[in-house]
Structure 1
């Protein structure tokens, strides 16, 4: 069960599970805290995990005015402060990787390490065209189901489409009692498709693991490699046969990899 917490930047919905070193999970476009359920369940015997709904997702309200990645990084910092976590391993995927990069740059004392999944730092021409299509697809799709069926072509592997995983995710999304509006989708997408951290990545000074799916067409591995090359000492790894969200498709494999990284970081502290 989660809770709505009152922070100095507004109300934010959080889910917490487990005991141990703190981990903050930062989701991307459209995904509420429940997107991390396999991590909340699978890693809670070793870590205290905190996931939350970004602005305009799930139960966290959509404020007036445009959203920004720095603003969402301030939300992440507010969650850490309000829950009295002086420092945490931060893991962000997709748009959440941008938020996590910004958090590490603007609040370095709060970040113990970074895992960046399906990451980018500077949108290229392909990425801008793809996300521009997503923007108008959200309002012109004939139904929410049709929108999901199209959008998830970029997100999951052909395997997940063939074995029923995607259909299950669609049904769960349609049944979710806090759906994201078209306006919230578009306003959240806007900063993710334009924000640029590339020239500032050298300012990140914490241990960083950048992961990319071999088959990811939403955030191709060339973009993740660019992130890793910009962060001093960062590691870059490609997950064979995986796409944009391997933490959902192959959670045991994914959880084992990030657990090994966090254990290594803690051994060096």
Structure 2
């Protein structure tokens, strides 16, 4: 890991840590934070090497777990509910497996236990687009695939033609390294050992991480609750109120 980790600590109450996906930014969670912060202490952070967080070496899932632990320690939090979305689900799985004493419960949304061939082929295609067409084309493809059609129409569609060669702020090297990171990592064979409350959330209209991955996670984690929530790959953004309601309902059952 190494260097400074940027985090945001808001609200009061039971501690909740939200772990973002491939983009790795704290800001991804702001719609969810806005709905939870009145009742919970909500912590978000930029992953090492992303946004305002530094890094030494290449990004790794254990490195993100180390960052998460350092934040809990700095905030004086012994145990927290951990919510991991997409790539963040790998971080949450690792946190629960390696540091169960720091975890009250886990929520895994748009996550997976291990990459299958379709997963690997799709991410290889994403890497090809990023390497050969650049960040603007890569972001355009992500929006087209990851958001429901109506959401795309309301928030991204424009009368003007897309300029795929336009300058982009995407850190190509770091994004490629993070895609490599998640394709090589799995703790599937250990998930049966988890002994803590777990909720798995997936969407039938998620074409980045199809719903069968959520079904597999729920089968592998003893006692896990499986919830189907439409909204594409980014349900925390596209279905914020429903997403936060299911979080609240799940946490309330742990009291």
TM over 0.5: yes
Q: Which residue of 1 aligns with 2:244?
A: 255
Match in the other structure for 2:145: 154
Task: Tell me the equivalent position of 1:182.
Answer: 172
Instruction: Establish whether residue 79 from structure 1 lines up as the match of residue 79 from structure 2.
Output: no
For 1:63 and 1:166, locate their aligned partners in 2 and report how far apart those are by CA, in whole Å. 38
Conserved in 1, the CA contact under 8 Å of 2:10 and 2:37? yes
What residue number does 2:7 align with? 14
Gaps of 5+ in 1: 1-7
Q: Any gaps of 5 or more consecutive residues in structure 2?
A: none
Q: For 1:97-135, what per-residue CA distance to the aligned partner results, in whole angstroms no more than 9, with x for missing partners?
A: 000000100111111000100010110000001111111
What's 2:34 paired with? 41
Conserved 8 A contact 2:7-2:26? yes
Structure 1 partner of 2:228: 238
> Does 2:190 match 1:226?
no
Q: Does 1:27 align with 2:35?
A: no
Give the corresponding residue for 1:60.
53
Alpha-carbon shift at residue 164 of structure 1 (Å): 2.0
Find the aligned partners of 2:235 and 2:156 in 1 and give their Cα distance. 12
Paired residues, what number?
249
Task: State the partner residue of 1:164.
Answer: 155
Deviation at 1:136?
2.2
Match of 1:114 in 2: 106
For 1:56 and 1:175, locate their aligned partners in 2 and report how far apart those are by CA, in whole Å.
Answer: 21
CA RMSD of aligned residues (A): 2.1
Residue in 1 that maps onto 2:187? 197
1:5-37, Cα deviation, whole Å (9 max, x unpaired):
xxx943100012111100001011014100000
How far apart, in 2, do the equivalents of 1:92 and 1:175 lie? 31
Task: Indicate if the aligned counterparts of 1:56 and 1:188 stay in contact, CA closer than 8 A.
Answer: no
Q: Which of 81, 91, 96 is equivalent to 1:89?
A: 81
- Give the equivalent residue in structure 1 for 2:125: 133
- 8 Å contact kept, 1:16–1:51: yes
Cα pair distance change 1:165/1:17, threshold 3 Å: farther
SS of the residue aligned with 1:113? strand
Give the secondary structure class of the aligned counterpart of 2:82: strand
